Structure 1
Amino acid sequence: MNKFTAKDLPGISMTVYSSQEGWWSGSSGFSKTETKTAMNADNLQYIQSVSKTFMAVVILKLYEEGRIDLEAPITKYLPARFKEWIKNADQITVRMLLSHTSGIAEYVTDPQYIQTVLLTPLKVADMSKVLECLQDEEPQFAPGSRYLYTNTNYTLLALIAENITGDHARYMDDTVFKPLGLKNTFYRNHKNYLDNPRLVDSYWDLLNAGRPANVTPMQKANVRALVGDDGIISTPADAVKFLVGLMEGKLLKDTTLAMMMKWVRNQEGREVYGLGLIRFELNGQVGYGHGGGGIGAGCALIYVPSKKTYLFLATNIGVVWDGVPAIKANEMKDEIAGIVFR
Structure 2
Amino acid sequence: MKTFLLLLLVVSIISCTNYEELKPEDYTCFTLPAIAQDHPRADEFQNFVNAKVREGLPGLNMMVRTNDGRAWFGAAGKADIHNNITLSPCHRMIIASVSKIATAAAVFKLVDAGKIDINNKLSDYLSGEYMDKIENAKEVTIEQLLDHTSGLFDYLNPTKWELTSINEPYKSESPAEKLKFAYGKSPDHAPGETYAYSNTNYVLLGLLVEKVSGQTLATFLAEQIFIPLGLNSVFVGDEQTHLRNGTPKGYLDIHGNETLIESEFWYHYDLATGDGGIITTMYDLGIFIEELLAGNVISSASLATMKDDFELPEDWKGFYHERNGHGFEIYETPYGTAYGHTGAVYGFLTIAWHFPDSGVTIIHSINGVSDKIFDIREQLTDDLMKMVFEE
* Other-structure match for 2:50: 2
Equivalent runs, 1:120-131 vs 2, <5 Å: 120-131=168-179
Matched, 1:154 2:205: no
For 1:301, which of 333, 342, 352 is the aligned residue?
352
1:15–1:237 CA contact under 8 A, matched in 2: yes
* Other-structure match for 1:182: 231
The Cα RMSD (Å) is 1.9
Q: How many residues align?
A: 336
Q: 1-side partners of 2:53 and 2:59: how far apart?
A: 6
Shift of 1:86: 2.0
Partner amino acid, structure 1, of 2:154: E
For 1:288, which of 323, 333, 339 is the aligned residue?
339
1:147–1:264 CA contact under 8 A, matched in 2: no
Equivalent position SS for 1:174: helix
* Other-structure match for 1:239: 285
* Other-structure match for 2:36: none
Equivalent position SS for 1:154: helix
Matched, 1:69 2:117: yes
For 1:47, which of 89, 92, 95 is the aligned residue?
95
Matched, 1:107 2:158: no
Deviates more, 1:199-208 or 1:126-135: 126-135
Q: 2-side partners of 1:213 and 1:191: how far apart?
A: 20
Q: 2-side partners of 1:191 and 1:120: how far apart?
A: 14
Unmatched runs of 5 consecutive residues or more in structure 2: 1-48, 316-320
Shift of 1:249: 1.1
Shift of 1:91: 2.2
Matched, 1:222 2:269: yes
Equivalent runs, 1:257-336 vs 2, <5 Å: 257-268=303-314, 271-318=322-369, 323-336=371-384
Matched, 1:22 2:73: no
Partner amino acid, structure 2, of 1:71: N
Q: Deviations over 1:271-291 (max 9, x none)?
A: 521011011122252111111
Partner amino acid, structure 2, of 1:110: P
Deviates more, 1:274-283 or 1:97-106: 274-283
User: 1:216/1:111 Cα in 2 relative to 1: closer, same or farther (>3 Å)?
Assistant: closer
Equivalent position SS for 1:291: strand
Shift of 1:113: 1.1
Partner amino acid, structure 1, of 2:329: I
1:148–1:266 CA contact under 8 A, matched in 2: no
Matched, 1:60 2:108: yes
Shift of 1:119: 3.5
Partner amino acid, structure 2, of 1:192: T
Partner amino acid, structure 2, of 1:222: Y
1:30–1:37 CA contact under 8 A, matched in 2: yes
Equivalent position SS for 2:228: helix
Equivalent runs, 1:137-148 vs 2, <5 Å: 137-148=185-196
Unmatched runs of 5 consecutive residues or more in structure 1: none
User: 1:217/1:130 Cα in 2 relative to 1: closer, same or farther (>3 Å)?
Assistant: closer
State the structure with more CA Rg: 2
Q: Deviations over 1:257-276 (max 9, x none)?
A: 11111112211298521011
Equivalent position SS for 1:306: coil
Shift of 1:82: 2.0
Partner amino acid, structure 2, of 1:244: E
Equivalent position SS for 1:155: helix
User: 1:223/1:114 Cα in 2 relative to 1: closer, same or farther (>3 Å)?
Assistant: closer
Shift of 1:315: 0.5
For 2:257, which of 186, 203, 209 is the aligned residue?
209
* Other-structure match for 2:37: none
Q: Deviations over 1:133-192 (max 9, x none)?
A: 322201100100101111110001001111112222211111110111111111117773
Bigger relative contact order, structure 1 or 2 (CA pairs below 8 A, ≥6 apart): 1
Partner amino acid, structure 2, of 1:231: G
Matched, 1:169 2:218: yes
Partner amino acid, structure 2, of 1:10: P
TM-score by length of 2: 0.81
User: 1:33/1:7 Cα in 2 relative to 1: closer, same or farther (>3 Å)?
Assistant: farther
Q: 2-side partners of 1:246 and 1:283: how far apart?
A: 24
Question: What percent identity do the matched residue pairs reach?
Answer: 27
Partner amino acid, structure 2, of 1:296: G
Q: 1-side partners of 2:366 and 2:153: how far apart?
A: 29
TM-score by length of 1: 0.92
1:99–1:275 CA contact under 8 A, matched in 2: yes
Q: 1-side partners of 2:243 and 2:170: how far apart?
A: 14
Partner amino acid, structure 2, of 1:286: T
User: 1:116/1:189 Cα in 2 relative to 1: closer, same or farther (>3 Å)?
Assistant: closer
Shift of 1:67: 0.7
